[in-house]
Amino acid sequence: MPVNLSAPQAHTLLPVKGVELGFAEANIRKPNRKDVLVIKLSEGTRVAGVFTKNQFCAAPVTLCKKHLAAGAEIRALVVNTGNANAGTGEQGMLDAEKTCQALAQLLSQGVEVKANQILPFSTGVILEPLPVDRVVAGLPDCLSNLKSDNWLNAAEAIMTTDIVSKGYSKQIVIDGKTVTITGISKGSGMIHPNMATMLGYVATDAAISQAALEKLIDYAVNRSFNCITVDGDTSTNDSLILMATGQSGISEIQADTAAYESLRDAMTEVATLLAQAIVRDGEGATKFMTIKVEAGRDVEECRQVAYAIAHSPLIKTAFFASDPNLGRILAAIGYAGLDRLDVNNMQLYLGDVLVAEHGGRAQAYEEAQGAAVMAEPEILVRVVLNRGLANAMVWTCDFSYDYVKINADYRS
């Protein structure tokens, strides 16, 4: 079961002015489940996105990047689950384009919407042809139930191996007016960031310049989705989209202003909760682990150490078993690739317990202390390098028997 995580309640996911969401059951992979989502945006909405750096990226990722680069005003997003449309060659691109064309045509009621004003997304099994006719056939149902308060249904419509849906809202006051932020994400396995890692959609009714929105998404992703890992596999389909409709009534926010910082911090908070929810719902997870590396020369080397720990199957299985075999953590620190690391000058803590210092086991450490910390569902691993002022934090989970079962049976 997910670690200290439950699905959101519909009333806790607040409507965002200028955003409507609709879903369909299109039988893309499994019957009787929501598997197509349309997010319709009001005119004037600003959109920014970041995507996987996996070079075998999915056709919809390539097409999304193309449509955003063209500079056309984005009017809708379309998401399907059950099939990644990755590793599908030229036909996959044609299918992604067909989906955009079909939705654009359906939305062209009074005001023309073009295919390059649609952003497509897919998630699911790789190397299988997209059943594009089923996706297209589900679009009218999506449009027929478009609602501003459909965020929970939307979160459910993008799930794959997720056990629970993921969504959060937050409101702040800027210039005396209430600004709403609501986001959803999906992800459970094949989780390792090379930007974000999963599908994530965060909307606000704030007005913000395109330049400021681009700066904001870079800030937020590097403090949230770029700090999580479940299994070290960077997906072919990872995408995070920020949408700002400008419907709140505030003046347009520019970068590096007090209003920008307020919005940036609030959206980063929502993004962080969504990112952590993915780890808490990691496939087969029973433990949620925070890896904090302190006093490094720079953030990059702190992350190197954190990810070496977070990716180690030996460490992750030990945490599942609550086995304080903590020499595995020292080994991971040692092979992380840091230049001239002085192992005699660093410390390792498990929770508040000092485990290692001066190149070996801390004199006061007893294994019962480590076992007690590891028995908890949420665990802090803290490494103090003592070679600089930089810090970094990564969130991960353990590896249980169920991780193997879920991935062994993924296509069945």
In three-state secondary structure terms, 182 is strand
Asked if 28 contacts 81 with a C-beta cutoff of 8 angstroms, the reply is yes
Tokens of 160: 């794959």
- How far is C-alpha 234 from the geometric centre of its chain's CA atoms? 12
Q: Count other Cβ atoms within 10 Å, centred on residue 412.
A: 4
- Please, what's the largest Cα pairwise distance for the chain? 76
Catalytic hit among 197, 272, 290, 396: 197
Tokens of 239: 């995408």
What phi and psi values does residue 54 have, to the nearest 5 degrees? Answer: -60, 125
317 included as an active-site residue: no
Instruction: Return d(Cα 192, Cα 211) in angstroms, integer.
Output: 27
Length of the chain, in residues: 412
Nearest partner of 310 among 329, 324, 297, 327, judged by Cα: 329
Angle between the N-to-C axes of helices 210-221 and 258-280, in degrees from 0 to 180, rounded to the nearest 10: 40
Nearest partner of 203 among 135, 255, 274, judged by Cα: 274
Angle between the N-to-C axes of helices 327-335 and 313-320, in degrees from 0 to 180, rounded to the nearest 10: 160
Q: Are strands 378-384 and 288-296 parallel, antiparallel or unpaired?
A: parallel
Instruction: Return d(Cα 172, Cα 145) in angstroms, integer.
Output: 29
Residues 6 or more apart whose CB falls under 8 angstroms from that of 389 comprise 295
Asked if 379 contacts 280 with a C-beta cutoff of 8 angstroms, the reply is no
Active site (catalytic) residues: 197
